[in-house]
Amino acid sequence: MSTLPVSSAGDPPVIGVLALQGDVREHLHALAESGARARPVRRPEELAEVDGLVIPGGESTTMSKLAVIFGLLEPLRERIRDGLPVYGTCAGMIMLANKILDGRDDQETFGGIDMIVRRNAFGRQNESFEAAVDIAGIDDGPVEGVFIRAPWVESVGGDVEVLATHEGHMVAVRQGAVLATSFHPELTGDHRVHALFVGMVSGGQRSAPGGGHGEVGRSR
């Protein structure tokens, strides 16, 4: 599959939101407010028409099953390996890991970041919370993070940059053109994380050193 940019030089990037399950509408709005042309992605042909992709929060095991049903699992893995900029929030972070703890044995991931992620690490739905999170590369103070059955990152490979921690746990990471957060910035009205991602897509950082080549596989 081609990795050439969809947008012409100077045009706003076309960024999709994986629309199989989860908080799709909020991400579409945040991307549009951050200067991107945002559109939902449900089919391989729609995936081929974007410069970048957001994988939203939701339920990672359901998302994994639906990706197989809609024929998106392998095309998305291929595009990530080829350098597609991707941003995953909460369940999206889980889907970008190359290994999951406390997941289903048959759960598939897209890969993209060399990390081990623990599902529901911060607790159940009734233990959801908000917290101020300082993120490297984002100015003007901390971002308000909404943590809903949120994962955290247990460990990372040498090419992964840790952008933020909360209570000693890694909650925002980046490997080249692939970005992930444990929390939901799309729910706060603060679009600085989305603006960071739009800048990554616009800047053509899909071939940056260490970029987006975490292994893919099943949780184990």
Please report, in tens digits, the pLDDT of each residue of the chain (220 residues total). 444 556 666 789 999 999 999 999 999 999 999 999 999 999 999 999 999 999 999 999 999 999 999 999 999 999 999 999 999 999 999 999 999 997 677 789 999 999 999 998 998 877 899 999 999 999 999 999 999 999 999 999 999 999 999 999 999 999 999 999 999 999 999 999 999 999 999 986 333 333 444 544 444 3
Active site (catalytic) residues? 90, 184, 186
Q: Is residue 220 part of a domain?
A: no
Tokens of 99: 């290994």
Scanning the chain, the segments in alpha helix (DSSP H) are: 24-33, 44-47, 60-69, 73-81, 91-95, 192-202
Q: Is residue 44 part of a domain?
A: yes
Per-residue pLDDT at 124: 81
Alpha-carbon distance of 33 to 63, in angstroms, equals: 26
Q: Is residue 217 part of a domain?
A: no
Tokens of 162: 């840790």
Alpha-carbon distance of 99 to 109, in angstroms, equals: 8
Q: Is residue 159 part of a domain?
A: yes
CATH value at residue 34: 3.40.50.880
How many CA atoms lie less than 13 Å away from 168 in the CB half-sphere? 0
pTM of the model: 0.88
* 13 CB-contact burial (10 Å; exposed 0-12 / middle 13-18 / buried 19+): buried
Q: Is residue 40 part of a domain?
A: yes
Q: Is residue 199 part of a domain?
A: yes
Tokens of 54: 């957001």
Which residue range forms the structural domain that includes residue 175?
14-207
Per-residue pLDDT at 218: 40
Q: Is residue 1 part of a domain?
A: no
The count of structural domains within the chain is 1
Cβ atoms 43, 67 nearer than 8 A: no
Q: Is residue 6 part of a domain?
A: no
Per-residue pLDDT at 123: 84
